[in-house]
Amino acid sequence: MAERMTGGQAVVRALTEHGVDVAFGIPGVHTLALYDALIDSPIRHILGRHEQGVGFMADGYARASGKPGVALVITGPGVTNVATAVGEAYTDSSPVLVVASAEDQRWAGKMMGHYHDIRDQTEAIRPVTASQT
């Protein structure tokens, strides 16, 4: 039988397999599974106070270490808040990965007033990134 894991565990496993050893972020209701998975991982988490700061921390880490900087943010305002730092990293070709949670896909983009709803966060950050998924 295949091993069962949460989405957070899958993300942390992928980050670990790609050599990520430090991540910057702010926990939120949408990222609790990710933070639960970080507890038992070798990834060191550094807590930020604002998503923009988290993005700049990831960028600074990337520039100083030569390794990709990783920013963990929540859906909606977490994505829009990190955009300034991501734009700076993009302009200077600094390797920064933003891992953003997503709203339940049944409600995404319907603007029904759900917590941290945003019409299309991928499109919101597209102009300042090299790639989005």
- 32 domain-assigned: yes
109: left (phi over 0), alpha (psi -120 to 50) or beta: left
* Residue 28: CATH number of its domain: 3.40.50.970
- 11 domain-assigned: yes
Q: What separation in angstroms does the CA of 106 have from each of 55, 74, 109, 112, 114? A: 28, 18, 9, 11, 11
> What local confidence, expressed as pLDDT, does residue 97 receive?
95
Instruction: Say how many domains are in the chain.
Output: 1
Range of the structural domain that residue 53 is part of? 7-128
pLDDT in tens, the chain (133 residues): 678 999 999 999 999 999 999 999 999 988 999 999 999 999 999 999 999 999 999 999 999 999 999 999 998 888 889 999 999 999 999 999 999 987 666 665 565 555 566 667 777 777 777 776 6
> What local confidence, expressed as pLDDT, does residue 129 receive?
75
- 83 domain-assigned: yes
- 133 domain-assigned: no
